[in-house]
Structure formats: structure tokens, C-alpha cells
Structure 1
Amino acid sequence: MINAFGALRPDQPIHVFTKASRWLLDRTITVPVTIVEQAVDSGAIQRDSLQLDVPATLASAAQFEAGADEAAVALAREFRARHVQVAVCDAPPMPCTAAHLAGVPAVVLANFTWDWIFEDFIAEHPAFAELPARLGVRYARADAAWRLPMHGGFGTVRTVLDFPWIARRSRRGRAELRRLIGAGDARPLVLISFGGYGVANMALAHHAGAPYRLVLSGGAEHSPTDAPPDALHLDRERLDALGLRYEDLVAAVDVVASKPGYGIVSECVANGAALLYTDRGRFREYPVMVDEMPQVLPCRHIANASLASDRWDEEVAGLLAQPRPEIRPLVNGADVAAGMISAML
């Protein structure tokens, strides 16, 4: 969305307030922006690539919320100093308060809100019972929510508009991509995708001689411990050398093996890949994804234990045999958002 808005309105300055990894921002953002390294929420705390640390996540969120009023005042001061005209939140609640204090509109652009996520944990963690309501009050300060597919929450935002998918899309053809990454035979390609945590220390099933070929996108610190000799290794440095981005990998392969989250699901939808998904632990977004994914892409479940102990021949073959949904959803949400933001200036 940042890239789409920057291309549409190069005359408008863009300020990104985040503590996200700088390498991710540098690799993703293609238009001029000012990055302000400032925490705007506490996010989620993972035990590993598949398991959320619920008590630590709740404790961190509660600690952040305890100082959120003061943080909102400081952020509102920054908004005024930088002449911010619109605040787009994905999806921290505190900046909604800051925008209200600064007198500028705020929109929540996401597929879930954190009050909805945390509500699901309160029965087991009653010490944090007040947290969802406190976050809901902040979301109520937003002027609107631009709600992405496979959504949950948004109960406290007064105006909610449903948006098309926002997704990173490859601009290259599949045959060209397969040639560039060195896929020299006709076997289907399976991309292992587990985000920034990778799959370090996760032993995968032995794949030597399998009727498909693995594609590994992380460096050594994020690679399986028993990758087969014929696996394609495409870390960040290799992708840069080839002039490729992660969405190009998704477009090049037949199947992505991952935990389901909005980012990877949206990229599979936009680039035509099937999804072999595994469990991601207790997270309220997960059942929503599982229920709705079959409407937009071929997908199939594999248990965490099977991910490490079984061959995937049956699952991959089953995915490749699945018919694609008859209606392909729109994936131009970034352009829609950019146009609407431009109209608000």
C-alpha cells in the first residue's frame, strides 16, 4: 500500500512509524519514505515459528497499554510536527488515539483488530480481562476501518469498509522465474515459508528422491536441519543477485508449505500457488483462515508432527490435483487504498 500510494502521489511525504526490522522495510518499500523508529504497539511474541507465547504476549501488551496515553500524546506531537494528514494503522490501536489528539483522520487497515485477538485468551488469563476493552476504546477513535479479507474484530470501529486483497504480486512469468532460480526439471516446486523465525532446528521429513523439489528461502540460520541435496537454496543475497523478490518465489513454485497468516495466504492468492498449511497454535485468526481459504486457493492441512516425520507425496499430489476456485478474487486493494488516501488529502 505504501508503494502504491507513493507511486500515485509522489508529491506527498510518507512517514512510517515502526520498530519493524529495517532490512524488511528496505527490501519491501520501493518509494521515498521517512522511517521513524518508534514502537506503536507490542505485537505478538513467538516461542518459535509456529507457537505464540500467549502469557508473554498479553503481559507485553498490558505493559505497553499502561503507558499508551503518554505515548499517544508524544505521537500526536510528532504528527503535528511532520504535518501528517492521515494516519493508517495496521493495526496498532494507540495511533488511533494519537491521530484523534492531533486532529487528523485515522483508518485501521488490517484483517483483524487486537482487542478481538486478546478476547480469546481472557478466560484462561483473567488478570488481563480489561485489556480488550481498553484497546477497543482506542479503535473507536478511528474514523474508519478498511477491512481486508478473512477478517475478525472491528466491533468498536464506527465505519467499516470491506477491501479487496492487498498482496505482493510478481511481475514476471512463471517460466522465466523457474529458469532464473535454477529449476531445471519438471518436478513441482515446494517453497518452505515460515517467516522471520524460519524453520531452524525443525527437522523435516526426508525428501531425497521425492516427486517434488524443495525451495528454501532462508539462510543457514533459518534452514531445516536435514534439507535434501537437491533443494534449491535462495537466501536474501541470492535473490538480490538474481533481481528477485519473495513474491517472485511464490509465483515460481507450485506449493507453499507454511502456517496460514494473512501475508502468505494473500501472496498465494495473488501469485497462483497452492498452500500446504500446518497448525500455528492458539490464535483466533487461524480458524477463520482455515474456514475461508478453500474459497480462494487450493489448500490442504498437514499436522506439525507429519511435517517432520512423513513424506509429503500424498499432500503435494492432492494439492496439485485440486481444481482452482472458479472466481479469482481481486488483489488490487493497495491501489484502492492509495486512491482513497489521496482523496482524503
Structure 2
Amino acid sequence: MPAHLFVDISSHGLGHLAQVAPILNELGHARPDLRLTVRSGLSNGILRARLSSAFAHIQECSDFGFVMLDAVRIDHARTAAVYREQHDHWKQLVASETERLSRLKPDLVLSDVAYLPLAGAAGAGIPSLAMCSLNWAELFAYFFGDQPWAGPIYQEMLSAYCGADRFLRLTPAMPMIDLPNLQNIAPVAALGRDCRLSLHERLDCRPDEKLVLIAFGGFEIQLPVERWPSIEGVRWLVPESWGVKKKDMVAFEPLGLHFTDLLRSVDAVFTKPGYGIFTEAACNGTPVLYLRRDDWPEQGCLIDWLQRNARCREIDEAGLVSDRVKVVLDQLWKQVKPALPIPAGAKEAALVIAGMLAN
């Protein structure tokens, strides 16, 4: 009977999938007989673009993280209301999750980074692993810890995370000082193929033309690109959904490249701080231009790590609609290339998972 792994992947953006996918792909090479069930609100197509092993898909969300106004702004009032509503029924939710996992009978539950499946696994007596660069309890305490109603909710969240056999803390990551079950893991990132020559041919680029990819991690955000100044020798690759009609901009989805291959093949990526895009850009040698997120505590550790491991520059929204964007891009490309970080975390985490499945 093949071992059965139940994986819960948050659909709060695409960064959680970017963390899990290299690990599951590494695990699939070592354990091709593994039975894999994936629960995620992400579409089957998005999952299959990243996961190389066969899996059964339960398209549901067991966490919401934060209610977002857009890619960089949180709806604090709505987020607080949803957490309060969820934890008014916490015991019933855990009981339902326990019953469901008992029926599915996985040998191990892996969560990035919902806490409900960890509580359900504990109730069902199933070993569990949490894994991420953050956890919702720490972020909840940052935003709502001073509220009189927040204490019991935080304790229920923290208890679920502490109930996991281990929490694999990916590098870079938030401190997570309240978790006694941490195991530090090296960076996790997918490595792409360099398709630069074919990409330039497809776009009929001049030899000295540079391509800058705009990628905001699965969140809808419409930047005022129509007001950006044109920069001689720079072409922007933008989401098709923006419907941009500008001669220096082209939609990237119709190019048909796997995202990581595209990321490796461009001259820079413009994004927000996020684990998946930062580690993948650094490990693939792609310079990063980033727009800081207001009031997002995870970004500090991510930016610190990126500054040590990649060429990167910050820009604000005002700079995007002025001539400053050209100056910042020129500064970015003149930076000395650091040694590429090695994404050894996928193999490390896969060994941990395989060891737990063997017990």
C-alpha cells in the first residue's frame, strides 16, 4: 500500500505554492509511488503547472490569511470580522476537519500554512508538518494583538501550530519565537531554463533591448502603466488581463513559457516582497525591482535576504510615473552580481517528509 500524503496549500497568492511545489517535486522523484492529495483554492491548472507528480485535487480553501484590497493592501476591518466569525465556530470546524481527515486516512498531513488541518490532524491522531516562511498566528498578533477580543483567537491559532510534529521554517523567514517545534530549512525555489534567445526572437527584440517582467504573485493589481514614461531600450512584460495597448508593453501569458523559465530569461522582474518571487528571482539570477508593501511585517526579513543575495532596488509609486524609473533600472543593472544562492531547502524538506512517511 503506497503512503498517502495530504497537502494543504494556501491560495493567499501564489507564494505558498511556490514554496511547496519544489519540495513535492523532489519528493516525487524519491517516492514515485506516493499517493498525493492536494487541497487548495488554486485552480487545477495552476497547480499542475507547478507540480510534476499526479495528485487528487480538493479545490477548497481551509484558510484565508488576510482579506486583501489588492496585492499590497489589507482590508483590516474585514479580516478581523472573518477571524472572529471563524473562531466563534472553531470547535465545530476542528471536529469537522478531524472527521474528514479520519475518513481520508493520510499517513501525514503537510500544511503551508493553514492551521485548521493541523488541529484536525491532531484530533485524528495523524502526524503533521507545518511549513512556511510565516504563520498566520504571528501575523494575526502583529495586526490585532492589542485588541481585547484577540487573545483567545491567537491562542487557538498558536496551539494548532504547536500541535504539529514540526514546523519547517524556510529561509528567509519571520522569527516565529513562539513556536517550540521549529526546524530551519535552506531556501526553497524552482530553477528555470534560460530561454532568453528564443524569447528575444519571439518578440523581435533589438540586441540591446531589455525585458522587465511585472509579476505580483496572483493578486489583482492594476498599476497605472499607461502613465509610465517610455524608456528607450526597455520593454515591459505585463499580465494579459490588464489589456494594455502600449508599444513598449506586451502580455506575457501568450508567450507560452513556464513562469520560472520566463523569470530566468528576462533582465529584471518588478514585483512586491514575497517569498516565492524573491527566492526564485535570486536563485535564477534575475535582478529585482520591488514596490514595498505598507504595514506587512514579513517584508523586512525578505528584503534583508534579497539585498544579500541578488541585485535589487526599491521604487515607490511616484517613481514609476516619473523619469526616476529609468534611473533606478540603470542602477539595478550596474550592481555587481552576487553568487547565486543554492535552493537546497527542497531536498532538505523532502527528506524530512519521506522520513516521517516511513515511520
TM-score computed with the length of structure 2 as normaliser: 0.85
Give the 3 Å change call, closer, same or farther, for CA 283–85 of structure 1 in structure 2.
same
Shift of residue 153 of structure 1?
4.3
Name the SS of the counterpart of 1:313 in structure 2. helix
The equivalent of 2:291 in structure 1 is 278
Percent of aligned pairs sharing the same letter = 24
Q: Any gaps of 5 or more consecutive residues in structure 2?
A: 1-22
**Counterpart mapping for 1:1-345 below 5 A:** 1-122=23-144, 125-180=147-202, 182-200=204-222, 202-203=224-225, 205-216=227-238, 218-219=239-240, 221-223=241-243, 228-235=246-253, 238-240=254-256, 244-326=257-339, 328-345=340-357
Distance in structure 2 (CA, Å) of the matches to 1:335 and 1:115:
27
Distance in structure 1 (CA, Å) of the matches to 2:348 and 2:59:
27
Shift of residue 173 of structure 1?
4.9
Shift of residue 117 of structure 1?
0.8
Give the 3 Å change call, closer, same or farther, for CA 304–319 of structure 1 in structure 2.
same
Give the 3 Å change call, closer, same or farther, for CA 192–204 of structure 1 in structure 2.
farther
- The answer to whether the Cα contact below 8 Å between 1:164 and 1:329 also exists between their aligned partners in 2 is no
Distance in structure 1 (CA, Å) of the matches to 2:242 and 2:351:
38
Distance in structure 2 (CA, Å) of the matches to 1:239 and 1:118:
39
- Return the letter of the residue paired with 2:246: P
Deviation readout 1:169-218 (Å, 9 max, x if unpaired): 213454344445554432221111123234436345434343322112x2
Name the SS of the counterpart of 1:121 in structure 2. helix
Distance in structure 1 (CA, Å) of the matches to 2:302 and 2:261:
23
- Return the letter of the residue paired with 1:257: F
Name the SS of the counterpart of 2:157 in structure 1. helix
Shift of residue 58 of structure 1?
2.5
TM-score computed with the length of structure 1 as normaliser: 0.88
Distance in structure 1 (CA, Å) of the matches to 2:146 and 2:200:
48
Deviation readout 1:93-113 (Å, 9 max, x if unpaired): 111111111212211110011
- The answer to whether the Cα contact below 8 Å between 2:110 and 2:130 also exists between their aligned partners in 1 is yes
Distance in structure 2 (CA, Å) of the matches to 1:108 and 1:285:
17
Distance in structure 2 (CA, Å) of the matches to 1:203 and 1:231:
9
Shift of residue 297 of structure 1?
0.9
Give the 3 Å change call, closer, same or farther, for CA 204–334 of structure 1 in structure 2.
farther
Distance in structure 2 (CA, Å) of the matches to 1:14 and 1:20:
16
Give the 3 Å change call, closer, same or farther, for CA 71–249 of structure 1 in structure 2.
same
- The answer to whether the Cα contact below 8 Å between 2:97 and 2:116 also exists between their aligned partners in 1 is no
Distance in structure 1 (CA, Å) of the matches to 2:231 and 2:267:
18
Out of 178-187 and 328-337, give the one that drifted further. 178-187
Number of residue pairs the alignment of both structures matches: 335
Deviation readout 1:22-49 (Å, 9 max, x if unpaired): 3322322221101113331122221122
Deviation readout 1:4-36 (Å, 9 max, x if unpaired): 222321211111122223332232222110111
Out of 270-279 and 330-339, give the one that drifted further. 330-339
Distance in structure 1 (CA, Å) of the matches to 2:350 and 2:204:
36
